[in-house]
C-alpha cells in the first residue's frame, strides 16, 4: 500500500505536465467516438508529480497504426513484453495499455484559441534519451 500523502490539489483540479519529455504511466483507456463517429481511445496519462494528460488515438486514419506502434514501442522500451494481440479498437487492447509506463512529449497546442500544454506523442527510449 502506498504511503499516505495529504492531497495538495482540490478535487477536480488538474495539474498539466510541463513542456518537454516525461516518464509517465497510462492510468486509464476509455473507448469513445469522435464527433465524426470514428472510434478512438482516450488515453489518460499520469506523471510522477501528480500531472495528468490526455491523448486521443483515433482509429481508421492514415496515422492510426503508426501512432499505436509508437505507444507499443514506448511500452516495450519500459520493460514490458508486447503480446500477440489485435491492437485495434477493442477492450483487450485498452486493458493491455492500462498500467504501463511510457515516455511522452508535451508541447503547446491550441485549445479554443488558448495555448495549453498537450500530450502530443509517445516516444521510444532512443527519442526520450536523445532530447535535452
Q: How far is CA 8 from CA 13, 81, 106, in A?
A: 10, 35, 23
Grid-cell match 516525461, residue found: 22
Q: What is the pLDDT of residues 55-71, one digit of tens each?
A: 999 999 999 999 999 99
pLDDT for the residue numbered 132 = 57
Which parts of the chain sit beneath pLDDT 50? Answer: none
Q: Is 83 left (phi over 0), alpha (psi -120 to 50) or beta?
A: beta
Alpha carbons within 13 angstroms on the beta-carbon side of residue 78 total: 22
What domains can you pick out in the chain, each with its CATH number?
Answer: 20-130 (2.40.50)
pLDDT for the residue numbered 24 = 97
Amino acid at each position: 500500500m502506498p504511503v499516505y500523502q495529504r492531497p495538495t490539489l482540490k478535487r477536480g483540479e488538474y495539474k498539466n505536465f510541463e513542456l518537454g519529455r516525461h516518464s509517465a504511466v497510462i492510468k486509464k483507456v476509455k473507448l469513445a467516438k469522435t464527433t465524426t463517429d470514428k472510434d478512438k481511445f482516450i488515453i489518460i496519462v499520469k506523471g510522477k508529480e501528480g500531472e495528468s494528460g490526455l491523448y486521443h488515438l483515433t482509429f481508421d486514419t492514415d496515422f492510426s497504426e503508426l501512432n499505436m506502434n509508437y505507444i507499443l514501442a514506448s511500452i516495450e522500451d519500459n520493460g514490458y513484453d508486447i503480446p500477440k494481440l489485435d491492437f485495434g479498437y477493442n477492450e483487450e487492447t485498452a486493458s493491455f495499455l492500462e498500467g504501463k509506463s511510457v515516455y511522452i512529449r508535451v508541447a503547446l497546442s491550441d485549445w479554443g484559441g488558448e495555448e495549453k500544454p498537450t500530450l502530443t506523442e509517445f516516444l521510444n527510449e532512443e527519442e526520450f534519451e536523445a532530447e535535452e
